[in-house]
């Protein structure tokens, strides 16, 4: 939610900030703005409602000369998307400009107090309160910017990543973090800061991830200084980035989403690499091997996640219960955190998050850890908050996911959960070694299976034309295909704005069946698994009521082929691996329907990729 960028150095400040904002646009695109300070001693603030391209248009005839700058792309929380509510916000006397990602929960109390001291406010945002508070403290105490920021942050309750610049000292950026990400890029005679490393990866590979409660003082010509809220100094831990610039480009595809769908053979290969060894006979996951006793003694596993990651979590339940015989509960992180969870040190809590920054998942992980549970993180984003707040974990290694609708991260999450379940089963002896080997061998072939399924692309594109103008869709599946149905429906909703519901196929007859008519297509995920006969009945029930059916079936299926209106065939494979394969035609179907409707699939309305607010 919201992306921030900052730069100080001899490069072209405006170009660096704008390029950085484009990279962070996945975090929000309701408005964008920047503040520049140059040798002319002026603090120039330009803002515009809408995407970063609107800001660029607005800046065309403006003075852009600068030595330092901060910039912001917004996902609105307090106050509608508008020029006025766009960041940066500046102080009453116009001497400070600030950008913020997060929410200030006690902003109302602070605002009332500042108004009593004569401050006037121009926006509806919580952020303006913060910049006014910093300025108020600075004037009252006649102190430096960093001292004023520290005192202000000690009064603030909430989440923030901020960057502040000051008219009188155009050689310094003060930045701070609490529960919202911030990373500093150290170049030669130049320093960057951003919500993630993507804005500066082509300039430097040296990065410092700020921790909660830290304030960075970035001063031109001086080494980086990091202080804590109690004014003690923090050690600087420089990490080397593994990100490459080609991972951040569309590589000839019209959209990141399509690129990411087509990347799946290679992302799954990377995700599996080194984790399935001895020709598939052994599973090797460091995060488990380093904590064998924990997994041997675990009495229960609780998985917390949001959105698409929650759908992967639900698959995790099926996988772990089937393979490890450990009871598993799956919770929405946002509900779990406020549900007075009962946990102890024999519980393992798995927190799944592509971004590693989702506020609810992060909070759930912290609560679980505080209660003594062992917390295991599954994330895609190296150095993000969740992996840093957990006892152990596994990265997806599927590369940065930029399209707002999750695709390759979902299949990566399901793959990691499959490997985790197999790894724990191997450890606890709940599966025979030849059963593990049989699945392990098939896992090594998954990239080839995905390649084959992607050949359905043109067929799905043609099929999408028939259903572009449907107003409602039903997605049905049983067993391992039920979470796939939920995920298929979510994909369609979020990028095409068509209402879609995912349902366990057998539950349909308890209500949703009333909706079925010729106007409402059903997408039925029906691979040849142990529930096949059951789902054939559900397919017949839909057809008997005049519904149109798109079915995902296993190659060679003849029964459903004769009932459904359209079939999409996937290769045969062990039941536990089918979700990775059957979810891919659904990603493509959503993509093409959204494209036919002229929607912006990479930046769907109201959404953001990294949800750092509750
Ligand atoms: C949907 C989607 C979201 C995310 C959710 C959690 O395509 O991307 O539903 O899955 O916001 O995000 P992470 O996984 O980053 O915690």
Please tell me the distance from the alpha carbon of residue 203 to that of residue 313, in angstroms, as a whole number: 37
Please tell me the distance from the alpha carbon of residue 329 to that of residue 325, in angstroms, as a whole number: 13
Identify whether the C-beta of residue 286 lies closer than 8 Å to the C-beta of residue 397: no
How far does the centroid of ligand 1 lie from the alpha carbon of residue 247, in Å? 19
Q: Nearest 5 degrees, angle CA 419-CA 251-CA 449?
A: 35
**Which ligand 1 atom minimizes the distance to the CA of 305?**
16
> What mean pLDDT is predicted for residues 138-162?
95
Q: What is the mean pLDDT of the chain?
A: 95
How far does the centroid of ligand 1 lie from the alpha carbon of residue 85, in Å? 26
Percent of the chain with pLDDT over 90: 87
**H or E segment at 194?**
strand 191-194
Q: Whose alpha carbon is nearest atom 9 of ligand 1?
A: 307
Residue ranges with strand state E in 374-467: 374-379, 392-395
Residue 506 per-residue DSSP state: G
**Which ligand 1 atom minimizes the distance to the CA of 407?**
7
pLDDT confidence bin for 75, thresholds 50/70/90 = confident
How far does the centroid of ligand 1 lie from the alpha carbon of residue 264, in Å? 17
Q: Is the pLDDT of residue 93 over 90?
A: no
Please tell me the distance from the alpha carbon of residue 252 to that of residue 265, in angstroms, as a whole number: 17
Q: Is the pLDDT of residue 42 over 90?
A: no
Return the pLDDT at 28: 87
Residues designated as active site: 2, 609
Q: Is the pLDDT of residue 612 over 80?
A: no
Percent of the chain with pLDDT over 70: 100
- 243-284 pLDDT tens trace: 888 888 888 999 999 999 999 999 999 999 999 999 999 999
Lining ligand 1 with CB less than 6 A are: 306-309, 353-355, 358, 361, 405-406, 490, 494, 611
Q: Whose alpha carbon is nearest atom 13 of ligand 1?
A: 353
Q: Whose alpha carbon is nearest atom 11 of ligand 1?
A: 307
How far does the centroid of ligand 1 lie from the alpha carbon of residue 413, in Å? 11
Please tell me the distance from the alpha carbon of residue 131 to that of residue 107, in angstroms, as a whole number: 11
Q: Is the pLDDT of residue 490 over 90?
A: yes
- 392-437 pLDDT tens trace: 999 999 999 999 999 999 999 999 999 999 999 999 999 999 999 9
- 443-487 pLDDT tens trace: 999 999 999 999 999 999 999 999 999 999 999 999 999 999 999
**Which ligand 1 atom minimizes the distance to the CA of 413?**
14
> What mean pLDDT is predicted for residues 515-541?
96
Return the pLDDT at 606: 83
Q: Whose alpha carbon is nearest atom 16 of ligand 1?
A: 353
Q: Is the pLDDT of residue 538 over 90?
A: yes
Return the pLDDT at 394: 97
Please tell me the distance from the alpha carbon of residue 87 to that of residue 128, in angstroms, as a whole number: 9
> What mean pLDDT is predicted for residues 202-217?
96
Please tell me the distance from the alpha carbon of residue 391 to that of residue 84, in angstroms, as a whole number: 43
**For residue 213, which phi and psi values (nearest 5 degrees)?**
80, 15
- 557-566 pLDDT tens trace: 999 999 999 9
Neighbours of 274 (CB within 10 A): 10
pLDDT confidence bin for 296, thresholds 50/70/90 = very high
How far does the centroid of ligand 1 lie from the alpha carbon of residue 352, in Å? 10
Q: Nearest 5 degrees, angle CA 465-CA 468-CA 472?
A: 145
Return the pLDDT at 96: 94
- Kindly give the interhelix angle for 578-596 and 481-496, rounded to the nearest 10 degrees: 20
**For residue 78, which phi and psi values (nearest 5 degrees)?**
-100, 110
Task: List, as one string, the DSSP characters of 458-504.
Answer: HHHHHHHHHHTT-SEEEEEE-TTHHHHHHHHHHHHHHHH--EEEEEE
Q: How far apart are the first and last CA of the chain?
A: 10
Return the pLDDT at 1: 73
Which of 179, 307, 487, 605 to mutate to test ligand 1, by most ligand atoms within 8 A of the CB atom? 307
Q: Which ranges of 290-370 does DSSP label H, i.e. alpha helix?
A: 292-297, 307-324, 333-336, 359-370
R_g of the chain, CA atoms, integer Å: 25
Measured CA distances, 556 to 149, 539, 582 (Å): 66, 17, 15
Which of 304, 416, 611, 613 to mutate to test ligand 1, by most ligand atoms within 8 A of the CB atom? 611
- 315-352 pLDDT tens trace: 999 999 999 999 999 999 999 999 999 999 999 999 99
Please tell me the distance from the alpha carbon of residue 6 to that of residue 131, in angstroms, as a whole number: 16
Return the pLDDT at 253: 95
How far does the centroid of ligand 1 lie from the alpha carbon of residue 487, in Å? 11
- 106-146 pLDDT tens trace: 999 999 999 999 999 988 898 999 999 999 999 999 999 99
Which of 26, 314, 406 to mutate to test ligand 1, by most ligand atoms within 8 A of the CB atom? 406
Return the pLDDT at 585: 98
Return the pLDDT at 382: 87
- 495-518 pLDDT tens trace: 999 999 999 999 998 998 899 999
Q: Is the pLDDT of residue 609 over 80?
A: no
| The two structure tokens encoding residue 261 | 């769908």
């Amino acid at each position: 939610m919201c992306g921030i960028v900052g730069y100080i150095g001899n490069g072209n400040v405006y170009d660096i900030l704008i390029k950085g904002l484009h990279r962070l646009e996945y975090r929000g695109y309701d408005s964008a703005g920047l503040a520049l300070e140059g040798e002319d001693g002026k603090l120039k603030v330009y803002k515009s409602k809408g995407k970063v391209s609107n800001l660029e248009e607005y800046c065309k005839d403006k003075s852009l000369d600068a030595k330092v700058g901060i910039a912001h792309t917004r996902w609105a929380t307090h106050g509608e998307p508008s020029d006025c509510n766009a960041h940066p916000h500046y102080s009453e006397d116009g001497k400070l400009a600030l950008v913020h990602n997060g929410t200030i929960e006690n902003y109302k109390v602070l605002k009332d107090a500042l108004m009593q001291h004569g401050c006037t406010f121009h926006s509806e945002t919580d952020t303006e309160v913060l910049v006014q508070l910093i300025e108020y403290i600075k004037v009252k105490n006649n102190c430096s910017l960093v001292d004023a920021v520290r005192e202000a942050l000690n009064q603030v309750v909430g989440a923030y990543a901020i960057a502040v610049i000051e008219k009188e000292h155009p050689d310094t950026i003060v930045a701070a973090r609490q529960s919202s990400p911030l990373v500093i890029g150290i170049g030669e005679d130049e320093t960057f800061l951003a919500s993630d490393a993507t804005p500066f990866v082509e300039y430097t590979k040296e990065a410092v991830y700020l921790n909660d409660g830290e304030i960075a003082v970035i001063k031109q010509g001086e080494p980086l200084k990091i202080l804590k809220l109690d004014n003690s100094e923090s050690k600087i831990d420089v990490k080397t980035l593994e990100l490459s610039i080609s991972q951040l480009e569309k590589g000839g595809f019209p959209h990141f989403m399509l690129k990411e769908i087509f990347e799946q053979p290679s992302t799954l290969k990377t995700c599996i690499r080194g984790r399935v060894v001895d020709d598939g006979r052994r599973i090797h996951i460091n995060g488990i091997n380093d904590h064998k006793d924990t997994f041997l003694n675990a009495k229960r596993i609780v998985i917390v996640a949001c959105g698409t990651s929650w759908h992967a979590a639900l698959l995790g339940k099926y996988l772990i219960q089937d393979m490890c015989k450990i009871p598993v509960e799956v919770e929405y992180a946002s509900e779990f955190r406020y549900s007075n969870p009962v946990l102890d040190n024999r519980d393992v809590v798995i927190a799944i998050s592509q971004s590693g920054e989702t506020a609810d998942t992060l909070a759930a992980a912290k609560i679980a850890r505080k209660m003594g549970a062992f917390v295991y993180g599954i994330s895609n984003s190296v150095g993000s908050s969740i992996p840093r707040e957990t006892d152990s974990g596994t990265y997806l290694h599927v590369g940065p996911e930029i399209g707002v609708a999750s695709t390759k991260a979902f299949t990566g999450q399901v793959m990691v959960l499959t490997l985790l379940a197999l790894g724990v089963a191997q450890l606890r002896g709940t599966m025979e070694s030849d059963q593990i080997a049989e699945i392990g061998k098939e896992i090594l072939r998954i990239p080839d299976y995905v390649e084959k399924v992607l050949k359905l692309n043109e067929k799905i594109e043609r099929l999408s034309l028939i259903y572009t103008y449907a107003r409602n869709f039903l997605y049905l599946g049983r067993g391992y295909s039920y979470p796939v149905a939920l995920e298929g429906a979510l994909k369609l909703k979020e990028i095409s704005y068509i209402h879609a519901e995912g349902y366990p196929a057998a539950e349909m007859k308890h209500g949703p069946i009333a909706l079925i008519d010729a106007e409402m297509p059903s997408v039925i995920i029906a691979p040849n698994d142990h529930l096949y006969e059951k789902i054939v009945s559900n397919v017949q029930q839909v057809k008997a009521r005049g519904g149109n059916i798109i079915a995902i079936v296993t190659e060679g299926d003849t029964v459903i082929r004769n009932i459904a209106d359209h079939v999409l065939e996937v290769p045969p494979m062990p039941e536990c691996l089918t979700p990775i394969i059957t979810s891919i035609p659904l990603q493509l179907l959503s993509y093409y329907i959204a494209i036919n409707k002229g929607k912006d699939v990479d930046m769907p309305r109201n959404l953001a990729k990294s949800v750092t607010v509750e």
